[in-house]
A and B are shown apart, each in its own frame.
Chain A
């Protein structure tokens, strides 16, 4: 049985082992600053937004589609939340459903264009994302909007359990839900066949068009959730907030697909990949490296991740 195979287990937990190795390395070099609970709880809390964006990406990725607009959905939702809340004084209980609906609508538009016109989702969402950024700059007048109600911050970043901001627990809850959806529902299998055997799925009665559309709507929704949390984390919305999240999220999604369930986009792999990446960057900056390490690390990780996953699948092919 492959499941008991030692190399397979190493492959599943390889990234976790490397992550622990990083922690040990940076901890040994800077025990007083790096290896503190406050450092880790900050990492866990502040990167919850990145986790949710990554979780949003893996749904269309499983169905074989890219959603490059998700980061700009986040920015637009964040900006809309701030404007509705701080400028127009709409009650928070109303703002949240409105902006969630906005995220779902963006997903619906992405999906409708991709499916109806049969254009590759990479191009559609690249364009839609840039368009959304334009809207964000327009409605926010290219400025950072602050003065968001403290209630939102209270429920995102200020409330802590075991020292970790509540945003982290939201991200974990979503990871559980998506894990359940991908692993234990018929819809999860439909997503998988849509991505990995679309014609087989279609001939077996899977409505692959509807599945892809749903995947886009879900990624739009998760982008919106991430946007709300982003606003809550900083108490404001700035028009370039999402721009720096897209590449890390893709890096984490592909890196995550090399572990836990190797060869498949999976939520726990994504969560581990996000925290592996930010631990590395945090550690390097504690060591005194400056901001350029972010780009080196994220970019390098993305390329490395796809190389590793090709090697892994190559190894499997040779194993025949």
Chain B
């Protein structure tokens, strides 16, 4: 690597607080011309906040930014980042599936296009040249929905590169931010993306490569910056570093979390899942004992969060069987009503879409599963039932007839939990149960789950919060690309060892 003369991008002292929590704590990021720089960190490390400061989505509390030595005032005006030579490719790629490659390439290119007249023939020629430059086997008239996942990712990257290639404001190549573009791609497809990244680099473009995958970062980057708890832990020359160093930097020294798991009786498992496959999951099997909290975790795209969806009938499995309490359930045709009848309760992650109907009242939300086919609803009684649940689950609200939208996230989640736990389910499924919820409500939710266990119920909790698993899980399964790659039990269930298992290469660790 050459000694830098000037920095392409220089971000210094960025601090951002959300409601008293420091998401970023005087973070710095320096990017050289024509380098690929990795950005690593766990969930909540501040990676995405940093990217959102660059894109103008967040206004930082403090901090300054220079691009090619010129100061840029923060917050970056939304939608103006391309004029400063910054382009972003997010995980969802931002492509319109039903539109053509050409339409997607020119979408939003306000800098260049005449707003009153699009010369389609010239644009198609330009698109063909662009696709040729990057040796992409795509035609402008192809519909994006028909493309393979990797071709879509390539298209999104080339589009972003095109926006900053000329760096329309002052003639030098720009900076491309690739924000987790790979988690749903197979390894061989990731290689194809790397070819484009290297080609871009040769043309002088700088790339910030955000990823959870250390192997990929080691393979494609020149330097890597690691964030933890909002702070920059360090920037490492990739050639001189190894996986161990990076994992250590990402995970850090482990702070012990107070574990609150109950002693587990030596019982036979009451819940068994066999040969489960879904959109990501591929042929996994697991079992849970009565009174046990089984934690499922993994990085983005690992598929652990699919398990609760498939076991509750929220989504259809490709294959899979569930046996519990004498029921033999075919997971390919499980409907939510069957799951409820079998004694399964599911607390979903997307609370406002799947968990609770915000427009409707607390009573309506809480009592829906009790109604059956009733032809006479006693509203007084339903209201009392709800008021009773609200007392037992410490839901803070004025009255049971309030709209659910008027409650805080934590109270909504307690309401969702109470709706399911009043049915006394034998298997409770949770997906990110404490997302966006304050510490107090978290503890109350953990207490309720402990009660379920004390009554002989089984709990499966999918989460990306390692600390939560250390607090409540008896056992943790770590997922990677649809398979279980590690199992941690007893005093191995710590934040640090879970993180270690998540970041370790799949080849080094086989499923137990």
Complex interface residues of chain B between 362 and 392 (CB less than 8 A to chain A): 364-365, 368-369, 371-377, 379
Q: What is the distance, in angstroms, from B304's C-beta to the closest C-beta of chain A?
A: 19
CB of A193 within 8 A of CB of B406, answer no
CB of B340 within 8 A of CB of A204, answer yes
In the complex where A189-B364, A192-B360, A205-B337 touch, is A199 in contact with B401 (Cβ < 8 A)? no
| Complex: A188 Cα to B360 Cα, angstroms | 13
- Residue A24 at the B interface, CB < 8 A? no
Interface hub of B335, B354, B358 (most chain A Cβ within 10 A): B354
Q: What is the distance, in angstroms, from A69's C-beta to the closest C-beta of chain B?
A: 27
Least CB separation from A205: chain B residue: B337
Q: Which residues of A contact B314 (CB under 8 A)?
A: 202-203
CB of B374 within 8 A of CB of A185, answer yes
The proximity string for B residues 344-357 relative to A, scoring 1 for CB distances below 8 Å and 0 otherwise, is 00101000011111
19 contacts between A and B (CB under 8 A): A2-B402, A185-B375, A185-B377, A186-B371, A186-B375, A188-B377, A189-B371, A192-B360, A192-B364, A196-B359, A197-B360, A199-B353, A201-B357, A203-B312, A203-B336, A203-B346, A205-B337, A206-B337, A207-B337
Least CB separation from B353: chain A residue: A199
CB of A205 within 8 A of CB of B369, answer yes
In the complex where A1-B399, A205-B369 touch, is A193 in contact with B360 (Cβ < 8 A)? yes
| Complex: A78 Cα to B377 Cα, angstroms | 36
CB of B356 within 8 A of CB of A200, answer yes
Cβ-neighbour of B377 out of A186, A203, A263 (below 8 A) = A186
Q: Which residues of B contact A203 (CB under 8 A)?
A: 312-314, 336, 346, 348, 354
Q: Which residues of B contact A186 (CB under 8 A)?
A: 371-375, 377
- Residue A291 at the B interface, CB < 8 A? no
The proximity string for B residues 182-213 relative to A, scoring 1 for CB distances below 8 Å and 0 otherwise, is 00000000000000000000000000000000
Q: Which residues of A contact B375 (CB under 8 A)?
A: 184-186
Cβ-neighbour of A193 out of B357, B358, B405 (below 8 A) = B357
In the complex where A203-B346, A205-B336, A320-B405 touch, is A196 in contact with B357 (Cβ < 8 A)? yes
Q: Which A residues contact B (CB, under 8 angstroms)?
A: 1-3, 183-190, 192-193, 196-197, 199-207, 263, 316-317, 319-320
In the complex where A3-B401, A189-B368, A320-B405 touch, is A202 in contact with B359 (Cβ < 8 A)? no
Q: Which residues of A contact B372 (CB under 8 A)?
A: 186
- Residue B403 at the A interface, CB < 8 A? yes
| Complex: A184 Cα to B376 Cα, angstroms | 5
Least CB separation from A196: chain B residue: B359
Q: What is the distance, in angstroms, from A30's C-beta to the closest C-beta of chain B?
A: 43
CB of A202 within 8 A of CB of B336, answer yes
Least CB separation from B416: chain A residue: A200
Q: What is the distance, in angstroms, from B126's C-beta to the closest C-beta of chain A?
A: 37
Q: Which B residues contact A (CB, under 8 angstroms)?
A: 312-314, 335-337, 340-341, 346, 348, 353-360, 364-365, 368-369, 371-377, 379, 398-399, 401-403, 405-406, 419
Q: Which residues of B contact A320 (CB under 8 A)?
A: 405-406
| Complex: A173 Cα to B273 Cα, angstroms | 53
Q: Which residues of B contact A188 (CB under 8 A)?
A: 377
**Nearest 5 Cβ contacts at the A-B interface:** A197-B357, A205-B337, A186-B371, A186-B374, A200-B357
Cβ-neighbour of A200 out of B341, B354, B376, B401 (below 8 A) = B354
Q: What is the distance, in angstroms, from B377's C-beta to the closest C-beta of chain A?
A: 5
| Complex: A190 Cα to B357 Cα, angstroms | 12
Least CB separation from A200: chain B residue: B357
In the complex where A2-B401, A186-B372, A196-B360 touch, is A205 in contact with B353 (Cβ < 8 A)? no
CB of A185 within 8 A of CB of B376, answer yes
In the complex where A185-B376, A196-B359, A196-B360 touch, is A201 in contact with B405 (Cβ < 8 A)? no
Q: What is the distance, in angstroms, from B142's C-beta to the closest C-beta of chain A?
A: 25
Q: Which residues of B contact A183 (CB under 8 A)?
A: 377
Q: Which residues of A contact B335 (CB under 8 A)?
A: 205, 207
| Complex: A266 Cα to B374 Cα, angstroms | 20
Q: What is the distance, in angstroms, from A119's C-beta to the closest C-beta of chain B?
A: 16
In the complex where A2-B401, A189-B364 touch, is A197 in contact with B377 (Cβ < 8 A)? no
| Complex: A47 Cα to B248 Cα, angstroms | 77
CB of A204 within 8 A of CB of B376, answer no
Q: Which residues of B contact A3 (CB under 8 A)?
A: 401
| Complex: A314 Cα to B312 Cα, angstroms | 35
Q: What is the distance, in angstroms, from B418's C-beta to the closest C-beta of chain A?
A: 13
Q: Which residues of B contact A185 (CB under 8 A)?
A: 374-377
Q: Which residues of B contact A192 (CB under 8 A)?
A: 360, 364
Q: What is the distance, in angstroms, from A264's C-beta to the closest C-beta of chain B?
A: 9
Q: What is the distance, in angstroms, from A238's C-beta to the closest C-beta of chain B?
A: 40
| Complex: A186 Cα to B379 Cα, angstroms | 11
Add 10 more A-B contacts to A186-B373, A187-B373, A207-B335 (CB < 8 A): A2-B399, A184-B375, A184-B376, A185-B377, A197-B365, A199-B353, A200-B356, A204-B336, A205-B340, A319-B406
| Complex: A1 Cα to B459 Cα, angstroms | 37
CB of A200 within 8 A of CB of B312, answer no
